[in-house]
Amino acid sequence: MALRHPRHELDDLLGHPVRFSVVALLAAAARAEFSFVRDRVEVTDSMLSKQISVLEQAGYIKVDKGFVGKRARTWLSLTKEGRRRFERHLAALREIAGGDGIGSAAAAYARARL
């Protein structure tokens, strides 16, 4: 039986703290306005824009632009693929943090071999 560490399931794009924070925030909502995300994640407009571009190009988030009255607005939402990737990343983090660092299946195998 080959052991596979759960870190192999971590998503490289979500390893960046701002991108992880943005995706985690969007996972809890149908959509959120740019300024709300910026304020909650505590980053500048330019930092958020840069990270949104990376996530959008990777297909993790969808960006919609429109107007409320005469004011331009930008809304962000998580795509199905983005949600799937986030959930997989989160599961890997939980598995790593939840034990001895080698994952529950590998830990069970190791215990059985003792």
Q: Is the pLDDT of residue 34 over 80?
A: yes
Q: Are strands 71-78 and 32-33 parallel, antiparallel or unpaired?
A: antiparallel
Q: How confident is the model at residue 100 (pLDDT cuts 50, 70, 90)?
A: low
Q: In the Cβ-directed half-sphere of 8, how many Cα atoms lie within 13 Å?
A: 5
Q: Is the pLDDT of residue 111 over 60?
A: no
Can you give the pTM of this predicted structure? 0.81
Integer CA distances (angstroms), 47 to 12, 27, 59, 109, in order: 18, 20, 19, 44
Q: Is the pLDDT of residue 63 over 90?
A: yes
Percent of the chain at pLDDT > 90 equals 79
Q: Which residue has the higher pLDDT, 108 or 12?
A: 12
- The pLDDT assigned to 4 comes to 82
* Mean pLDDT calculated for residue range 84-97: 95
* Mean pLDDT calculated for residue range 4-33: 95
- The pLDDT assigned to 2 comes to 64
- Return d(Cα 60, Cα 103) in angstroms, integer: 26
For 6-107, CATH gives 1.10.10.10
- Return d(Cα 48, Cα 34) in angstroms, integer: 8
- Return d(Cα 58, Cα 45) in angstroms, integer: 20
